[in-house]
Chains A and B, each alone.
Chain A
Amino acid sequence: MLVGYLIVLLAIGFWSRRESGDLKGYYLAGKKLPSWVIAFSSNATGESAWLLLGLTGMGYAIGVHAFWVILGEVLGVASAWVFVARPFKEYTDRFDAITVPDYLTDRFRDTHHIFRWLSAIIILSMVVAYVAAQLTASGKAFDSFLGTGYTAGAAIGLAIVLFYTTVGGFKAVAYSDFVQGVLMLGCLLTLPFVGVAAAGGLGAMFGELAAADPALLRPMGTFGLGPAGIASAFGFVAIGFAFLGSPQLLTRFMAARDQRQIVDGGLWAVLCVIGFDVGAVFSGMAGRALFPGLVDPETILPEMSQALFPALFTGIFLVVVLAAIMSTVDSLLILASSVVVRDVVQKAMGSDASEQRLSLLGKAVTVVIGFAAFWIALAEVRVIFYFVLFAWSGIASAFTPVVLCSLFWKRTTRAGAVAGMMGGFVVTVVWTVAFKERFYDLYEMIPGFIAGFACCIGVSLFTEPDEGAVAELESVRQAVGPLF
């Protein structure tokens, strides 16, 4: 099973190799992707091993309080496709943009490349942490399922991703994400049905949960309707905000063949995220009824796969966990490579190297970033998902408020956008380090977004927008037409 999956990935890499000869091909698959690929690819990228191990663990540990994550993610994905995707696609097609910093630079007439340098610093620091956490999960998954040892497991995961990413570029990443997304969806639609049936049906499962702890069946959980409960619920909803403007997800809209793919892809994306999240939470709840008393709730998926399915399925579940890891790692590596090569080397530093040479450099940078993350992963990051949620928040808080203002508020200025990026990112980091524990563990994305919007809007109000940029925004709005 595992060998078959790896052969499919390598074949996709080999099949996509022709597209990766220039920068637009390597980083955006030549802007030719169909709706179903961008839909599954964006969801598989957004949901890492956190979905399979972390969210099932939340269903196990806190029960229906985890429904707030479903609310946030479903609304986040739907809003991204309905409100953000089409104007963003229209803008980036006009600018012939390859990266999100490309878009910001052209949107705000940034001749000093401030957005490119700032984006490079933020994306590189967050991507290395994010990929290191995923490689840690890869090492643990290989070791627990096949006994390879931690280091070998992380190395195998990285080697496979690096092969198909460097050979096939973004096209290989997007199509492998599609395969991986389908595998994840299949797992998360099957597991809760088998788990609930094994627990004796929905009624018996709820009975077991109520007997274990009645708070498992209440939306506000053990916290109740106090400040801690509200902070926790808001934090879970906020996880979904990142879908509105994180660069690794926005690149999917840029890579769509045309606007029609976005209209057609949205429903697939929403159905997919509903299946992902509802399946994960109900799997965890069924797991709690069946296997109470686990020391680590995040091991509930391997526990259920081994106890409820024949031995053959153990291989399938390993493949699904690896799919979740790889679909995120490949997209982050190519995102980091794109800011180094396209934004820093080609644009900010003005390299006149040919597209072919830059594409080769992009592949080399992908490998270097992968090895940097591997080196960090060797330290065996203990709390995998703490780092995942932090990096998810760091990237989202820096980019999402600014991207949203740039698409919907014509008074947004260059200085405001720079302040918004810096404010969102810095507050995320500072909040996590200094304030989080003192304020009911409020998830860093909420203060990060508030700071990002406040800085962007506040500074924009004291500066003047470029007249050409204002006219351009109105022209984009006209081209896109009304929402409903």
Chain B
Amino acid sequence: MSFDAWLLLFVAVGLGLGLEIAFITARRRDRGGDR
């Protein structure tokens, strides 16, 4: 499989996971701040 095909796959998975993990991290920080 070509490099750009692997890149497309990793971008697809990485963008979704990265967005979600950044969101969860921010929310947990908020919860910590509330306490």
Contacts and interface: CB of A to CB of B under 8 A. Distances in A.
A binds B: yes
Interface of B: 1-2, 4-5, 8-9, 11-13, 15-17, 19-24, 26-27, 30
A78 B8 contact: no
Contacts of A68: 8
Interface of A: 64, 67-68, 70-71, 74-75, 77-79, 81-82, 206, 217-219, 263, 266-267, 270-271, 273-274, 278, 481-484
B23 to A, nearest CB: 5
14 contacts: A67-B9, A71-B12, A74-B15, A74-B16, A78-B16, A79-B19, A81-B20, A217-B5, A263-B24, A263-B27, A278-B9, A278-B13, A484-B22, A484-B26
A40 B21 CA distance: 18
B11 to A, nearest CB: 7
Contacts of B9: 64, 67, 70, 278
A79 B18 CA distance: 11
A67 B23 contact: no
The SS class assigned to the A binding surface is helix
B23 A484 contact: yes
Given A74-B12, A77-B16, A78-B16, A219 B4 contact: yes
Among B11, B15, B16, find the residue whose CB has the most chain A CB atoms closer than 10 A. Answer: B16
Contact of A481 (B17, B19, B30): B30
A218 B2 contact: yes
B30 A67 contact: no
A417 to B, nearest CB: 27
B9 to A, nearest CB: 5
Contact of B24 (A206, A219, A266): A266
B24 A78 contact: no
A483 B5 CA distance: 31
A266 B19 CA distance: 10
A253 to B, nearest CB: 14
B13 A74 contact: yes
